[in-house]
Structure 1
Amino acid sequence: MNFFRKPIYNILICLSYLPALSFSQVIVTCTENTEQCFKEHAEHAEQLTRQGQYQQAEVEYDIALSLVEILNEDVAETWANRSVNYRRSGELEQAEISINK
């Protein structure tokens, strides 16, 4: 019995050393001009803002907002979230411009 347990134990030990993939490491690759792609990038930007990764969040906001042509509730919310990102990164002038879009 010990013969069979040891390899499984060793495998479990090795697996325990693998780092968990965090949300900030997930790269959103959707580039189609669709509402789904917009939402993926906007949600990822919000996650990055909550994690304090303001520069990466700004990249995601740029991509998300470049994928939409019609202003709707989701887009307005994304502009507001982008304003929060600007404020937290200390760019107060950009925050004011963003909130007024």
Structure 2
Amino acid sequence: MRGELRRLGHQVSPAPSDGRCALPVGPARRRQPARGEWAASLKAQASGLLATDLFHIDTVALQRLYALFVIEVRARTVHILDVTAHPTATWATQQARQFL
């Protein structure tokens, strides 16, 4: 692959010893927020911040069920919205609408 990229005119860095591919990309520019700005921003957003995900449960009857949950970041509260054997985007959207 590296030889093919070089033939196309792309610059390729030497391969690292662990076998992963490395591209010649410099570090991202860092911006230092004003003192207290970051903490104030987090506090302002935490009251409305929600996180969501699915986890699966394998039952004794060898059936896999998926549970959709939401975490309220500020209150550190977990809400199990619903459990299904066949999650779809439509199902997840409906659960989120009912929660909100």
TM-score band by shorter chain is under 0.3
Structure 2-normalised TM-score? 0.24
- Higher RCO, 1 vs 2 (CA within 8 Å, ≥6 residues apart): 1
Which entry has the higher C-alpha Rg, 1 or 2? 2
Q: Going by fraction, where is strand more abundant, 1 or 2?
A: 2
